[in-house]
Amino acid sequence: MGEAAERFVVEGLVEQTSAGPRLIGSRCRGCGTFYFPQKASCPNPACTDKAPVAALLPDQGTLYSYTLQRYQPPPLFRMDGWEPYLLGLVDLGEGLQVMGMLTGVKEQEVRIGMTLRLVTEPLYCDDDGTAVLTYKFTPAGTAL
């Protein structure tokens, strides 16, 4: 039996390392600024080099704010067994805040400032059975 086929919702967002998933962003060699997702150039007006290179971002951060998405987004978004879900804004340090779905935490347990770590989870199964993954954040210390 072969491994179940998997892919990400978009290529180039996440790298699976031996120590777990990491978001792929950019770091500008000129000014040191981090970006997510990868950028073609650097919008910092003080930067003269404008030389972003791919960089793995920190896999932990703190929750800056969140909401509960109560109604189903338009069809470009796919999710098997749709139900309302938490969306968070996570401060990864390095001046970078990233939005993503939260998992493994109930609305009444969410606290601004809580430590979260990056995970990947299937959102839906394609027609050919491929599991389509996205990145999410979950409370640090939770096994998933």
Which residues in this chain contact another protein in the complex, by CB under 8 A? 9-13, 25, 33-38, 40, 43-46, 64-74, 76-79, 85, 87, 89, 95-101, 107, 112, 134-135
Q: Does the CA dihedral 85-91-92-96 come out positive or negative?
A: positive
Based on CB atoms, which residue is closest to another protein, 18 or 81? 81
**Among 12, 20, 7, which Cα is nearest to 125's?**
7
**Among 13, 25, 3, 4, which Cα is nearest to 128's?**
4
Left (φ > 0), alpha (ψ -120 to 50) or beta: where does 104 sit? left
Q: Any contact of residue 131 with Zn ion (CB under 5 A)?
A: no
**CA-to-CA distance for 39 and 28, rounded, in angstroms?**
9
Q: Are 127 and 28 in contact (CB under 8 A)?
A: no
Shortest Å distance, C-beta 29 to another protein: 16
Based on CB atoms, which residue is closest to another protein, 4 or 68? 68
Angle 49-32-63 from CA coordinates, rounded to 5°: 140
Stretch of 12-20, 27-35, 66-74, 105-113 lying at the interface with Zn ion (CB under 5 A): 27-35
Residue 118's binding partner, choosing from another protein, Zn ion, none, with beta-carbon cut-off 5 to 8 A by kind? none
Residue 97's binding partner, choosing from Zn ion, another protein, none, with beta-carbon cut-off 5 to 8 A by kind? another protein
Stretch of 2-10, 41-49, 80-88, 103-111 lying at the interface with Zn ion (CB under 5 A): 41-49
Rule CB under 5 A: which residues touch Zn ion? 28, 30-31, 42, 44, 47
